[in-house]
Amino acid sequence: MMNLPSEQLVVVARFDEDVSWCNELSIPYIIFNKGRKNLPTNLKTHNLVNIGREGHTILHFILSNYDNLPDRILFTQADPFPHAPKFLDSIKQMDSHLPVQPLSVRYLEPKDPKLRNRPEFESGIPPQEILNQHMVSTNGVEYYTEILDGRFNVISPYQYSDPGIQCLSLIQKHHQNSVRFVCRSIGIDEIETIHFSYGGILSVRKEQILRHKKETYEMMMRFLLETPEHGFLMERMWLTIFGYQPLESVD
């Protein structure tokens, strides 16, 4: 168990990214470093083995501090800005975040090299017109969420299939029952569709984490570490795990 602040904390899952932006934070943070031990000594760092992607960092933190969680934890990858350009501004609004607050607004911008062989190369994912229509703003925090079907395909607001996900062996085996299988494997209620926000970048109230027993998070960790593929699926499960409730309207 770590000595944690009682109110707010930013938990950063780092490999080798530049995390100098942490110096700009006005609230406590900790960097869980899985890459080179080359960070300045003034940054608050805890070293972890390089397994399980950011999901391992999230679960390691929860399991290590289950009885000592701050009131609000913001989980993020070490380079959140491609997914959340206004990330630092969003942190300043933490006092007014939703109980489960997504912070991402997009997967990839137009002309990103990762989209070069996809039809979205010119538009990005989601296309800007979709983002303009469906991005939500609550208390000054902008975010965008998608609905995924039982095979982890995006069905709304912008429908597309991510080949990097559809090739995973679990999805190849369970097809449209993949989400239900993952829910069952990690000990939560089975559902057929889920909400998703890119990158595992979100803030969560302590109560939303404690809605599951510690043993359930231990199940999640076992599932996560069964195969490296499961890290990509767990990234898509966090909003569901923490009990995200979508708003019906934009303010």
The pLDDT tens digits for 160-194 are 988 889 999 999 999 999 999 999 999 999 999 99
At a CB cut-off of 8 Å and minimum separation 6, what does 182 contact? Answer: 170, 223, 233, 237
Count of other CB atoms within 10 angstroms of residue 206: 14
Rounded Cα distance between 70 and 5, Å, is 6
Q: Which helix (H) or strand (E) holds 225?
A: helix 214-226
From the centroid of its chain, how far is CA 174?
Answer: 23
| Terminal CA-CA length for the chain | 39
| pTM (whole model) above 0.85 | yes
pLDDT at 212 over 60: yes
Cβ(2)–Cβ(22) below 8 Å = no
Q: How confident is the model at residue 250 (pLDDT cuts 50, 70, 90)?
A: very low
pLDDT at residue 1, rounded to an integer: 65
